[in-house]
Amino acid sequence: MPEQQYRIGLGYDIHRLVEGRELIIGGVRITHEKGLLGHSDADVLVHAIIDALLGALALDDIGTLFPDTDPRYKNIDSTILLKNVYKIVKKEGYKISNIDSNIIAQNPKMMPYIPKMKEILADILEINPADISIKAKTKEKLDAVGENKAIEANSAVMLIKKN
């Protein structure tokens, strides 16, 4: 049976907004009165991309690979976790074709930060920023996200087998 040339993965994450934490999404510090609660820096976009990459390889999820019970990951910069996962992608013989993501937040507005997010992610993942789509959405004031209690993100990635 021939090796699979293409693999697709989906990722999702949500974190509660709380006072006393920095808001970091896509590796970018965002000016806001609240930040995301989590064991790490709670970067929902990076976590969704990590889970999408792991899913494309049919591996365990982010919580299994980097458990919140492990003190090594307390307040860790999620881009470090992304770098580690990208090493796995390369070890498995794949490269990233493209990433399509959504950040879902009622506030703050994400659009001003998206170019820097794409730059940071492209650098880590060794792809062109034009191969990364990050869209900003709201929940039209519905559910926990719409009530400014949480922020969520989802992501899809396509991997291609290296020659």
**Which has the closest alpha carbon to 104: 67, 145, 68?**
145
Assess contact for 63 and 124: CB atoms under 8 A. no
Q: Is 70 helix (H, G, I), strand (E, B) or coil?
A: coil
Sign of CA dihedral 108, 112, 114, 116: negative
CB-facing half-sphere around the CA of 2: CA atoms within 13 A: 4
Distance CA 58, CA 54 (A): 6
CB neighbours of residue 89 within 10 Å: 22
Q: What is the pTM of this model?
A: 0.96
Count the alpha carbons within 13 Å of 51 in the hemisphere toward its beta carbon: 18
The pLDDT, as a whole number, for residue 2 is 57
Domain edges within the chain = 6-161
Q: How far apart are CA 32 and CA 44, in angstroms?
A: 15
Residue-level pLDDT at 163: 78
Q: pLDDT tens track of the chain, all 163 residues?
A: 456 799 999 999 999 999 999 999 999 999 999 999 999 999 999 999 999 999 999 999 999 999 999 999 999 999 999 999 999 999 999 999 999 999 999 999 999 999 999 999 999 999 999 999 999 999 999 999 999 999 999 999 999 998 7
Looking at the domain 6-161, which fold is it? 60s Ribosomal Protein L30; Chain: A; (3.30.1330)
| Torsion angle (degrees, nearest 10) of CA 45, 51, 56, 57 | 140
